[in-house]
């Protein structure tokens, strides 16, 4: 019945605007006639037929009412959007009409027409037109919403028929974007049953169900399953051509920062398809609680997440240092958002290359722990700007480390990268030389424990492939890939920052810590997984009608097909089962210091050729990319 009425409403909505106005005029004309007849019936206390002079009231009513209604704009309004202002206009129009009608039939009067007709009919007309306008607004708007939902709603299945799944279904019941057409659940006893009118289906039949029910989205409402089972479910859903979404984190829901209807894209962990390494809470808290902690590069993706993790461990003060003004401002606002924590946040605008500024900060605040995350890390950019890469990644690291030693900081932890292992690019070479500088300083028996933490690619960080791939998928592709065989180790941002904190707690001086990151991941496999879990298909030779293509652009300058975490062999175990300690070759500080001074001079002069020569001499296995030069040096004519 509702479907029939909706089709009728749709046919009305589709009429041309002049036709709709003519229809409204016709309805109001009928109401004038109807209310005149009702006025006579009420006055004479009988169902009468109008005869003789009584019929005069009809043309008079129409001649007075319709010009007034048209002039006052009663037919310009869209009925389903009528508001109180429109109803006030109706009252004004009928008041004017009523005064004119009363003058004619009450004040002047005509034989056979009771004087009370001039009063009763305008009141009845006001009631009739008001009710018709209200009913039209209500029924047309409700039918329009239903029609809109039917045209725009995406059919959805909820994976999980438990309490959370039912809560989500209830929250989405009024959504104009999604329509819950059923549930998926692993519990076989629920298959075939109904929950709120929606059936529970077997997940093993997802391909058939998605086609039969025209499902475009599956919402995961499984808060208590472990990561391995979650990965199995995602693999099961990949072939169904459905977009997979999740509901917000329970903590965000509890804090009022999100609602059940705020559907999200899959977490980075879901895309990675591996179980994150669990932290050792004792190692996390060992050296942070009640201490003064400094983080350089705090506004970056790794540095900011490191600051969030450190803030939860309740240091006495957290010094956040960066040269990015807005990034520092935003991070400070975020960290000071909860005044109940009592945490002192100190924002410090500075460059790690500014030796005097860094020394003054160290002397003033006397940090116990220093986490050095400041670095240029985008391989192609550093390859084209090697001077800035050397200044920040090597000389900046030495500047901060020596200032920390002078201020008698307890620990200095460098955040390094797997690209420092047998580097083929300037970024990797600068990070490896920064590691060697710390190893050399540590061998000098400095009062500060100097260590470094090396890990692979971080999903979700700035420059990560995940945000890039997501944007390209939304745009319909293509996904750009440098090489079909390119392979990387991956971890999430929280994993990386927890590793840094835990490894720093175990440091003895000169250590290089690496994480057992499991099996490396092919970037093309990650891209395919993202496409398929977005409800799309890969367009290639086997499937020319697919949605998103993958295009290879060629390896970038200095880019390797495979990355490594260790230079040598036989890493040592540590207190954490997934963290290893490597002992790697380095150059004694007495021999390295003069070379660093030469490197500094070459950087100041913008001599790219000399920079590359010194890097090749100091960093084992570094082979500079031939033909890429510093962009500034090109203008100055100092590069080859």
In whole angstroms, give the CA distance from residue 260 to residue 279.
29
How many Cβ atoms are within 10 Å of 267's Cβ, its own excluded?
Answer: 15
* Known catalytic membership, residue 419: yes
Pair (338, 237) in one structural domain: no
- If asked whether residues 215 and 296 sit together in one domain, one would say no
**Residue 628: its pLDDT value, please?**
41
What spatial distance separates the first Cα and last Cα of the chain, rounded to whole Å? 81
Could you give the CA distance from residue 427 to residue 73 in angstroms, rounded to a whole number? 71
Q: Are residues 388 and 537 in the same domain?
A: yes
Per-residue model confidence (pLDDT) at position 3: 45
State the pLDDT at residue 475: 81
Element (H, E) at 18: helix 17-44
Residue 272 counted as domain residue: no
Asked whether residue 639 is domain-assigned, the answer is no
**Residues shown for the chain:** 640
How many Cβ atoms sit within 10 Å of the Cβ of residue 24? 18
Domain co-membership, 529 together with 583: yes
Task: Give every residue of the chain whose pLDDT is below 70, as ranges.
Answer: 1-15, 77-83, 138-153, 174-176, 223-224, 226-227, 248-277, 338-341, 457-464, 489, 516-519, 557-570, 624-640
Give the active site residue among 419, 431, 560, 578: 419
Do residue 227 and residue 295 come from a single domain? no
Specify the pLDDT at position 630: 43
Nearest to 372 by CA among 325, 334, 336, 405: 405
Residue 202: alpha-carbon gap to chain centroid: 31
**Are residue 416 and residue 550 in the same domain, yes or no?**
yes
Structure tokens at 528: 């395919």
Report, in this order, helix, strand and coil percent for the chain, each rounded to 5. Answer: 50, 15, 35
Asked if the structure places residue 222 within a domain, the reply is: yes
Task: Using CB atoms within 10 Å of the CB of residue 565, give its burial: 0 to 12 exposed, 13 to 18 middle, 19+ buried.
Answer: buried
Distance CA 500, CA 416 (A): 10
State whether 221 and 207 are in the same domain.
Answer: yes
Burial 343-374 (b: 16+ CB within 10 A, else e): bebbbbebbbbebebbbebbeebebbbbbbbb
Residue 451 shares a structural domain with residue 562: yes
The β-bridge relationship of strands 511-515 and 449-455 is parallel
Note the pLDDT tens digit of each residue in 377-388: 888 889 889 999
Q: What was the pLDDT predicted at 353?
A: 94
The pTM score is 0.63
pLDDT at 14: 60
pLDDT at position 325 is: 93
Model confidence pLDDT, tens digit, residues 502-514: 877 887 888 888 7
Q: Which pLDDT belongs to residue 258?
A: 46
Number of domains the chain contains: 3
Q: At what angle do helices 117-152 and 2-13 cross, to 10 degrees?
A: 100
Is there a single domain that holds both residue 140 and residue 177?
no
CATH at residue 453: 3.40.50.720
Whether 637 maps to a domain, the answer reads no
Residue 267, pLDDT score = 60
Domain around 37: 2-151
Residues 459 and 491 in one domain: yes
Last residue of a domain, one of 151, 185, 214: 151
Q: What pLDDT does 407 receive?
A: 93
């Amino acid at each position: 019945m509702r479907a029939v009425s909706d089709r009728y409403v749709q046919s009305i909505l589709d009429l041309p605007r002049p036709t709709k106005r003519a229809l409204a005029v016709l309805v109001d004309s009928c109401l004038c006639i109807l209310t005149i007849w009702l006025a006579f019936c009420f006055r004479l206390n009988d169902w009468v037929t109008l005869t003789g002079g009584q019929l005069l009231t009809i043309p008079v009513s129409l001649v007075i009412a319709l010009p007034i209604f048209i002039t006052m704009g009663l037919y310009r309004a869209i009925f389903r959007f009528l508001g109180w202002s429109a109803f006030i206009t109706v009252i004004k129009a009928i008041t004017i009409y009523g005064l004119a009608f009363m003058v004619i039939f009450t004040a002047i009067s005509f034989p056979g027409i009771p004087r009370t007709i001039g009063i009763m009919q305008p009141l009845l007309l006001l009631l009739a037109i008001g009710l018709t306008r209200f009913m039209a607004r209500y029924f047309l708007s409700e039918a329009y919403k239903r029609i809109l939902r039917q045209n725009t709603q995406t059919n959805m299945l909820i994976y999980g028929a438990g309490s959370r799944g039912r809560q989500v279904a209830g929250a989405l019941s009024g959504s104009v974007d999604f329509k819950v057409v059923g549930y998926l659940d692993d519990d076989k006893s629920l298959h075939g049953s109904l929950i709120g009118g929606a059936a529970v289906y077997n997940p093993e039949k997802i391909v058939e169900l998605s086609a039969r029910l025209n499902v475009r989205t599956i919402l995961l409402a499984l808060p208590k399953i472990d990561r391995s089972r979650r990965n199995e479910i995602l693999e099961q859903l990949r072939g169904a051509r459905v977009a997979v979404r999740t509901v917000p984190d329970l903590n965000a829901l509890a804090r009022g920062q999100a609602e059940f209807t705020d559907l999200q894209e899959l977490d980075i962990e879901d895309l990675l398809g591996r179980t994150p390494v669990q932290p050792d809470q004792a190692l996390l808290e060992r050296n942070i609680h009640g201490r003064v902690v400094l983080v350089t590069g705090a506004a970056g993706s790794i540095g900011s997440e490191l600051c969030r993790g450190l803030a939860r461990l309740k240091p006495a003060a957290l010094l956040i240092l960066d040269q990015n003004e807005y990034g520092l401002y935003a991070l400070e606002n975020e960290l000071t958002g909860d005044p109940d924590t009592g945490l002192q946040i100190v924002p410090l605008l500075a460059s790690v290359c500014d030796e005097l500024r860094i020394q003054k900060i160290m002397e003033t605040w006397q940090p116990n722990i220093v986490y050095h995350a400041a670095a240029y890390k985008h391989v192609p950019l550093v390859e084209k700007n090697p001077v800035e890469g050397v200044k920040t990644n090597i000389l900046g690291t030495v500047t901060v480390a020596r200032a920390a030693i002078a201020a008698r900081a307890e620990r200095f932890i460098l955040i390094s990268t797997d690209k420092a292992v047998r580097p083929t690019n300037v970024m990797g070479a600068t990070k490896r030389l920064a590691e060697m500088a710390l190893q050399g300083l540590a061998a000098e028996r400095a009062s500060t424990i100097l260590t470094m933490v090396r890990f692979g690619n971080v999903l979700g960080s700035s420059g990560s492939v995940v945000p890039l791939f997501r944007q390209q998928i939304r745009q319909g592709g293509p996904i750009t890939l440098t090489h079909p065989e390119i392979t990387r180790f991956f971890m999430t941002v929280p994993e990386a920052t927890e590793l840094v904190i835990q490894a720093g707690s175990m440091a003895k001086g000169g250590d290089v810590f690496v994480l057992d990151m499991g099996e490396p991941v092919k970037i093309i496999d990650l891209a395919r997984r993202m496409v398929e879990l977005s409800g799309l298909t890969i367009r290639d030779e086997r499937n020319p009608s697919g949605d998103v293509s993958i295009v290879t652009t060629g390896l970038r300058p200095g880019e390797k097909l495979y990355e490594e975490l260790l230079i040598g062999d036989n890493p040592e175990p540590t207190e954490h089962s997934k963290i290893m300690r490597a002992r790697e070759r380095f150059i004694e500080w007495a021999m390295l210091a003069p070379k660093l001074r030469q490197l500094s001079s070459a950087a100041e002069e913008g001599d790219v050729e000399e920079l590359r020569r010194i890097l090749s001499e100091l960093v084992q296995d570094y082979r500079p990319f031939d033909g890429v030069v510093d962009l500034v040096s090109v203008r100055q004519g100092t590069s080859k």
